Amino acid sequence: RKRQRYVEKDGKCNVQHGNVRETYRYLTDIFTTLVDLKWRFSLLIFILAYALTWLFFGLIWWVIAYSRGDLEHLGDHSWTPCVNNLNGFVSAFLFSIETETTIGYGHRVITDTCPEGIVLLLLQAILGSMVNAFMVGCMFVKISQPNKRAETLVFSSHAVVSLRDDRLCLMFRVGDLRDSHIVEASIRAKLIQSKQTQEGEFIPLDQTDLSVGFETGDDRLFLVSPLIISHEIDERSPFWDVSRGQLERDDFEIVVILEGMVEATGMMSQVCSSCLVDEVLWG
């Protein structure tokens, strides 16, 4: 029968949050929220952040020119406007873009007879720097995330239960396809299985550690070639009382987590994969 996965083979988690009432908490950490968004939404917010600030300040520049009467004295060389050669909203919008992006003034330039324009120029320069720092920072963090490093870290599609040195072990393989290594790589394994306590409490998706060498240090990997990760089925293992027939009837999932530092970027990366019960081969 078709079993639902807690974690996909490529590491994507299938848990979806529902009934979240305190959604305002996402806005208290707006930077992380923007970084976690999908690319299409991130690009939309990136474009809107600049376009709306340009339009907003362009409208204010146009209001200043209109209130001073600059638009009524177009072509009057004896009149000193707030911004030279600003003759409408379109030119005010272009002037706003030039100011915020520091492209440089040429045909349109602010004069020294407009104190409100000087104050607005300072405000737009400061706000423009803040928008640049925030949005470019979000894009840089999103681009430099080491998530794609997981594409070249490969786990075996099946796990096996067989004898190794006369001891029954659960084993799987992991390998790195890149020449640049994962520094300080370590691996963990979790058994995801619903269980009922002695008091009758039902715990869905209970997580139990599977020892893959934490006591001996074998969980610290030198991943320059494919390695076989082994979990010995002894008295401390949750599989100690499981027979081959029971294994085929059980409903559980083994989640493997590999963590380490990407050598090329120095950033921490976490790679996950999983095996369902029908992907564990006996013997």
What are 6-47's pLDDT values in tens digits?
Answer: 888 888 888 877 777 777 777 778 888 888 888 899 899 999
Domains and CATH numbers, the chain: 23-144 (1.10.287.70), 149-282 (2.60.40.1400)
pLDDT tens, residue by residue, 114-136: 899 999 999 999 999 999 999 98
pLDDT at 182: 86
pLDDT for residue 5 is more than 60: yes
| 275 close to 210: Cβ distance less than 8 angstroms | no
pLDDT at 242: 85
pLDDT tens, residue by residue, 80-117: 888 888 888 999 999 999 888 877 777 888 888 889 99
pLDDT tens, residue by residue, 189-207: 999 988 888 898 898 888 8
pLDDT at 31: 84
How many of the other CB atoms lie within 10 Å of CB of 172? 24
Q: 0.75 exceeded by the pTM?
A: no
The token duo for 24 is 């305002």
CA 218, CA 214: separation in Å to the nearest integer?
6
pLDDT for residue 2 is more than 70: no
Q: Where are the alpha helices (DSSP H) in the chain?
A: 24-28, 30-36, 39-68, 89-101, 115-143, 244-249
Q: Residue range 211-235: average pLDDT? A: 90
Residue 163 φ then ψ, to 5°: -80, 140
Helix or strand or coil: residue 158?
coil
Q: Residue range 154-161: average pLDDT? A: 92
Please name the amino acid found at residue 242: V
The token duo for 208 is 């139990």
pLDDT band, residue 173 (cuts 50/70/90): very high
**Beta strand 182-196 with 253-262: parallel, antiparallel or unpaired?**
antiparallel
pLDDT at 80: 87
pLDDT at 1: 54
pLDDT at 85: 85
Q: Residue range 241-261: average pLDDT? A: 87
CA 121, CA 126: separation in Å to the nearest integer?
9
